[in-house]
Amino acid sequence: MTQENSKEARNKALVQAAFDSWRDGTGSAFDLLDPDAEWTIVGSSPLSRTYKKAEFMKDVVAPFNARLASHAVPHIHGIYADGDMVVILYDATAIAIDGIPYSNRYAWFLQMKDGKVIKGTAFFDTRFYDALWDRVKI
């Protein structure tokens, strides 16, 4: 195994472990974010833009989770690595606090450095995401 393949395998394993913890309710995929990480939501949502980690967690992740009756559960379709980039394709499902299911398919592109995500780019159907934010007020 080359050094590059070894790094890719380690990064994939870190992402898999973080998603397993998230699925089990014992952690979050965002535990992998470096303190100085940037996160970009792609699309036309009012929330679509690039954030620094602290702002992203406060303005996006916390309010999203507050709209849910229980944590979103990820179901991984695939994890792929190339150099420092890990791509994960997954579905997330949950029940919102208004009793209506939330479901979306995500593709995250995670640039890794020293076992942490330094840049994340998220693609998903912002229409479903925005519907949750519009429907469930906190």
Neighbour-count burial of 101, counting CB atoms closer than 10 A to its CB (0-12 exposed, 13-18 middle, 19+ buried): exposed
Q: Domain total for the chain?
A: 1
- If DSSP codes are grouped into helix, strand and coil, which group holds residue 66? helix
Supply 31's token pair. 């535990």
| pLDDT (tens place) for every residue of the chain, 138 residues total | 566 679 999 999 999 999 999 999 999 999 999 999 999 999 999 999 999 999 999 999 999 999 999 999 999 999 999 999 999 999 999 999 999 999 999 999 999 999 999 999 999 999 999 999 999 999
Domain range enclosing 11: 3-135
Q: Give the N- to C-terminal CA distance of the chain in Å, as an integer.
A: 50
- 50 contacts: CB under 8 Å, gap ≥ 6: 38, 39, 40
pLDDT digits (tens, 9 = 90+) for 76-100: 999 999 999 999 999 999 999 999 9
The CATH number for 84's domain is 3.10.450.50
CB 21, CB 76: distance < 8 Å: no
Nearest CA to 39 among 107, 116, 118? 118
